[in-house]
Amino acid sequence: MPDSSDDALMQSVARNEADAFRTLMERHQPWVFSLLIAIVRNQQHAEDLTQEVFLRARQHAGKYTSQGEFASWLKRIAINSATDFLRKNRKFIAVGLEDIEKALADERWSSPVAALLTSTLREEVRTAIQSLPDDQRLVIVMRYFGDMSLQDIAWALKCPLGTVKSRLFYALRRIRQNFTPDQEQERGPTP
């Protein structure tokens, strides 16, 4: 069965053939898990959501229309599961320190003073991202930590591309404001 197409496997799953479902899981579980961990930033929750995604796929196998778009259909289920989870469990929305560390990794940060500054900056970036409204935070996480294109984010969130661009723009502006000195400080003391 490993050579069967996803559509053929889904037809078999609709007929309750366990081997077909197992093959689909083995084929798609790694990328589903990677997508979910990029969004929810917690391994245990991503593992639970991955199981939920495949459970939903199995439950709705009879409704799946064979159009050669199984991966897209499964991605939609994964995104919906993750956004539902985040909506219900806002406290779990977080950006992993390891991702920020990678983004800030550079040989110029090798001195102890620079390391302290990097640690402080990393925490400030994480705090800034976590302080964003949910819709903006989700777009930031999907874009920069989930490595998704703007079109994929729009498709996954079922919203227009312009809305995704707007949320990203305002999120980046808010984050930037956290790191830009007030205009008063930029001008210096008044005479």
Burial of 180: CB neighbours in 10 Å, binned 0-12, 13-18, 19+: exposed
CA angle 169, 141, 127 (to 5 degrees): 85
Domain with CATH 1.10.1740.10 in the chain: 6-91
pTM of the model: 0.57
| The pLDDT value given to residue 117 | 54
Q: What is the H or E stretch that residue 68 is in?
A: none
CA nearest 21: which of 76, 80, 74, 79? Answer: 74
How far apart are alpha carbons 118 and 101 in whole angstroms? Answer: 9
**Range 11-17 average pLDDT:** 89
**Architecture per CATH, 6-91:** Orthogonal Bundle (1.10)
CATH number of 118-181: 1.10.10.10
How far apart are alpha carbons 177 and 182 in whole angstroms? Answer: 9
State pLDDT tens for residues 155-164: 778 889 999 9
Helix axes 112-130, 97-104, angle to 10 degrees: 130
| The pLDDT value given to residue 178 | 78
For the cut 90, the answer to whether the pLDDT of residue 170 exceeds it is yes
State pLDDT tens for residues 69-117: 788 788 888 888 988 887 787 654 444 545 444 444 544 444 555 555 5
State pLDDT tens for residues 26-58: 999 998 898 887 777 788 999 999 999 999 999
Domain with CATH 1.10.10.10 in the chain: 118-181
